[in-house]
Amino acid sequence: MTLVQLNRTVADVLPPMSEADKSTLSITLPILGSALSSIDEFPTIDDVDMDTDQSSLQEVCIGMLPGLTEFVMTEDNDIETRSSAAYCMHAMLSLGNLSMQECPVKPVVDDLVKRFTSAKFDHDASTDWLNFLSLMASSAARRGGSSSNTAGKIAQFLVELAVKGKAQLPFTSDEEKQLDLSSVDYEKVASKLRFVSASAYGSMLALDVKPLMKQRLTHTCLKYIKEAYEEEKSQAQAGNSIPPPNVGLMVLICHLICNVDLSKMDKMVLHQTAAITVEGLSSSELFDPSTAFDPKNTTSKNLVLVAILKLLSVAPHSVPVSIYTYCSCKG
């Protein structure tokens, strides 16, 4: 079966109208995802069927996007097949010669935002939505060019949500179209969504993208690091105790440290980043023994420790001396 035939097989059963259609998708989507991820560009005329040209293959793929989005966002569908569908979209939208003047990822993002604002808030659905949104942002970041703005808008949203707990949905101007975690009934749910948002941003930083795109993604969170550091500084000067950073900011900073070249960071920014990271060691939210087996907290703690280890190895001059006092007390 050629890549064209495989695409058409999937397209013909979207949306799935029967269990047989779902079974077909469960078999074909993983294969299609692997096939698309193994190439950098859509096949040329010489690589496809004699009765098919390059544009028709792209048209099939573009036409599949709404159906794949619907399939991914339908919770009743099998989770593994939904993941395969999302992976297919990511691979498809990442291909370099997708011939569209405008960003091909933006219509998908607009669709996701519309679905989110029209649905009742649900913790699990919101987590899936954030993860899917970040996957689309990763496709935009890999594409660059006309898709750079899409990646930047989503990165800004993820960072604000992680740090502030409230953010304007991408490509919206209506103040009502915000995700505000202060309206969530349970604090642990809000904390987890901050963590998911920060981790989603971290997955974007981990991409192998062009230097300018990397710089843009990195710059997105620097102002929040400066704000947090200045707040800590003013609290210390006033003689007040310094509260540890929230889990969203902490995870955000740790991903930044782990995924950028620290030697290229401004020394003042690096110092501020290191200071906040060390403050994370005093976070009861992360290091409370009662939450030792919480997967979110385990991941967060590991991130803090790995980030500090990298700082000590690569930029020891940036780490405040309080780290040694802390370690001697714990030891």
Q: Mean pLDDT of successive 10-residue segments in the chain (331 residues)?
A: 83 90 94 88 57 62 90 92 95 76 88 87 84 94 89 95 92 83 76 91 91 91 89 82 82 93 90 87 65 65 89 88 58 49
Cα gap 278→176, rounded to integer Å: 37
User: What are the residues whose beta carbons fall under 8 Å from the beta carbon of 220, sequence distance 6 or more?
Assistant: 152, 155, 156, 159, 201
CA geometry: angle at 109 spanning 197 and 102, to 5°? 130
Listed in order, strand segments (DSSP E) in the chain are: 166-168, 178-180
CA 309 to chain centre: 24
The one-letter amino acid at 91: A
Structural tokens at position 312: 């000590």
| pTM across the whole model | 0.87
In this prediction, residue 235 carries a pLDDT of 80
Half-sphere exposure of 160 (CA within 13 A, CB side): 14
**Nearest residue to 270 via CA among 254, 252, 257:** 257
136 touches 112 (CB < 8 A): yes
Cα gap 69→93, rounded to integer Å: 13
Structural tokens at position 303: 């991130």
In this prediction, residue 170 carries a pLDDT of 93
308 touches 319 (CB < 8 A): yes
In this prediction, residue 22 carries a pLDDT of 93
Query: For residue 183, what are the CA distances in angstroms to 21, 43, 124, 165?
Result: 39, 48, 16, 10
In this prediction, residue 38 carries a pLDDT of 87
Tell me which H or E stretch contains 225.
Answer: helix 211-237
In this prediction, residue 286 carries a pLDDT of 65
